Amino acid sequence: MRPQIEYLHQNRVEWRKGFLAGTEERTLSRDEQSGADSIVISYPAEWDQGDARVLGAAEEIFILAGTLGVNGVEHGPMSYARWPEGTRIEKSSSDEGAVAVLFRNQNPSTTVSEGPDERKLVEKIECLPVGPSPMRTPDFANP
């Protein structure tokens, strides 16, 4: 059970080295029993994940700023995707950098014995049209 259920201002949480090489992250919440967590992750410009990886936890991502390419699908601001545990991420990169909120359903170092449940895959959903808006501020994009 996650004890933090109160309002949290993510800009007051310190950045630390991310779970993916070259990234930084802010942990918003973490369940100590299951290892599930919610983080803000910052990908620098010209970032590349390197070797392929298999997800030990389902990952849901919502892009706040920038772009992130995952397995040939380009994710821009205000887009969402979900990859079930067991998914093989062959390539993940960002030319311009990106900031995203990432949710995982269990400890990401969990060993997965079978392939992903493809019924739970969401390759991409564009949540809002992107364009100039007086409601958007770049503050969250500045690590």
Which of these, 65, 70, 26, lies nearest to 48 by C-alpha position?
70
pLDDT at position 143: 46
Residue 11 CB neighbours (<10 A): 11
Confidence grade of residue 112 (pLDDT, cut at 50, 70, 90): confident
Model pTM greater than 0.95?
no
Contact indicator for 99, 141 with CB cutoff of 8 Å? yes
**In terms of DSSP bridges, do strands 37-43 and 73-75 run parallel, antiparallel, or are they unpaired?**
unpaired
CB 100 within 8 A of CB 26: no
Nearest Cα to Cα of residue 11 among 95, 104, 94, 99: 99
pLDDT in tens, 70-94: 999 999 999 999 999 999 999 999 9
